[in-house]
Amino acid sequence: MLFNYNYKVELPKIIPDKRRALFHAKRMLPDYVFDTSKLENNPLTFPEVKTLMDGITIGGHKISDVQQVLNIKDSWLMLLSSIGDGTFSISKNMFHSIHTKIARDEALQWGEFRTGSVSITGTEIYQAPPWQELDAIFDREIEIILDCRNAIEQAIRLFLWGALNQFYWDGNKRTALLMANGITISAGYGVFNIKTKDIQEFNTLRVGFYETKQANEIVVFLAEKCICYIEN
């Protein structure tokens, strides 16, 4: 399922540097794991997330909340490793690999497209595509989504497309976000991240996007607020 927008995404006036973008992503990883967890309303605080990432257990939380953070960490580490060794690609297999890490023991199935219908939080209007059509949608539309040389716009399009189509039972935003990061980091620009302070605005725009398939407002938001560019 495709969508419409007419906003022109501008590339920053910086010199792309994959090595530095990857270094920055690794250095700031606790921040990005924390922000990604907050997309799912995970209750763990930043110090608790940092403690978990340091390999120390914490108490007082549901096992599922702790596991969700660990899954996000593991998926980020896998993504950064694949970028570093040059094996990252925009493919169905890579989507499935990221989803396997990020939705382990959370979704009904992980590492494969859903085999049933899903409802979308926040809207009763939008209906995700039938599960029987997901493989065909992916194969038919992925090249259209990636049909631009602007890496930032390409990443935004991929993220919105993955979230809109709800390819998986759960973990769609997180999977699409990490795949989008594969583009921005590999291109040497930086990290695609929805900060905790911006999640409420994102969710409002997300529901409007789902219901209308008009992406102008959310594309502007993502382009202007959600790309953490490296500094030259």
Do 226 and 201 meet the contact criterion of CB atoms below 8 Å apart? no
Rounded (10°) CA dihedral 18, 226, 167, 80: 30
**pLDDT tens across 23-62, in order?**
999 999 999 999 999 999 999 999 999 999 999 988 889 9
Cα–Cα distance, 27 to 7 (Å, whole number): 32
Do 163 and 64 meet the contact criterion of CB atoms below 8 Å apart? no
β-pair partners for 229: 190
**Among 113, 108, 107, which Cα is nearest to 95's?**
113
This prediction has a pTM of 0.95
Q: Would you say residue 223 has pLDDT above 70?
A: yes
Q: What is the pLDDT at residue 57?
A: 87
Cα–Cα distance, 81 to 71 (Å, whole number): 15
Q: Considering only the top CATH level, what class is 19-112+122-229?
A: mainly alpha
Domain ranges of the chain: 19-112+122-229
**pLDDT tens across 60-104, in order?**
899 999 999 999 999 999 999 999 999 999 999 999 999 999 999
pLDDT band at residue 232 using 50, 70 and 90 as cut-offs: low
Rounded (10°) CA dihedral 40, 45, 47, 52: -50
Q: Would you say residue 124 has pLDDT above 90?
A: no
**pLDDT tens across 183-221, in order?**
999 999 999 999 999 999 999 999 999 999 999 999 999
Q: What is the pLDDT at residue 146?
A: 92
Using a 10 angstrom Cβ sphere, with 0-12 exposed, 13-18 middle and 19 or more buried, the burial of residue 129 is middle
DSSP 127-169: -PPPGGGHHHHHHHHHHHHT--S-HHHHHHHHHHHHHHHT-SS
Rounded to 10 deg, the angle between the 92-102 and 172-186 helix axes is 120
Cα–Cα distance, 129 to 120 (Å, whole number): 12
